[in-house]
Amino acid sequence: MNYLIPVLLLATFLYALIRRVSLFDSFTEGTREALQLTVSVLPYLAAIFLAIGLLRESGLGKSLADLLNPVFSLLQIPKELTELLILRPLSGSGSLVILEDIYSTYGVDSYPARVASVMMSGTDTVLYIAAVYFSTAKDKKTGLAIPISLLSALIGTVAACLLCRVL
């Protein structure tokens, strides 16, 4: 297993030699494209990180969680997970901070902690991924991509609650 990556690299180099591809030119071209991508994505990422910081530091995240708690209660989502459910589509690292708070407050074997763990593994940072993807896509119209992704994350969370109740 220790030799897997070197073997894959060697196989790639051999394939390039057989196809007569200039490895250095291909490498520098890929590096240039990666740097261009990074520069084009930075404004979108800055906006997402600013929104996350404002949401957390202003207390708006907690207020929004309190406001949405009755709706989430109807879906059998514990109130302890409301803030995580709101922040998860925006930030993976922010979600991990909330997950750690849930672990330390309720214990890792508690119902909220188990649901939060399943939720973290079954959902993703939808808005972060959309910002990166649509910043580089030629067609900037997101259509229903973001609402459907957010709905699927909500459905995944409801399923996590049901699974953790049963298991």
pTM of full prediction above 0.85: no
Q: Give the domain extent around 142.
A: 44-166
Any domain includes 8: no
> What's the pLDDT at 126?
87
> What's the pLDDT at 100?
93
Any domain includes 9: no
State pLDDT tens for residues 82-101: 888 888 888 888 888 889 99
Buried b (16+ CB within 10 A) or exposed e, 50-79: eebeebbeeeebeeebeebbeebeeeebbe
Any domain includes 19: no
> What's the pLDDT at 29?
93
Any domain includes 4: no
Residue that is written with structure tokens 């590096």 in the block: 31
Rg of the chain over all Cα atoms, to the nearest angstrom: 21
Any domain includes 128: yes
Any domain includes 29: no
State pLDDT tens for residues 25-54: 888 998 999 898 888 888 877 887 888 788
Any domain includes 79: yes
Number of domains in the chain: 1
The CB density around residue 86, as the number of other CB atoms within 10 Å, is: 20
The CB density around residue 128, as the number of other CB atoms within 10 Å, is: 18
Any domain includes 66: yes
Q: Which residues of the chain have pLDDT under 50?
A: none
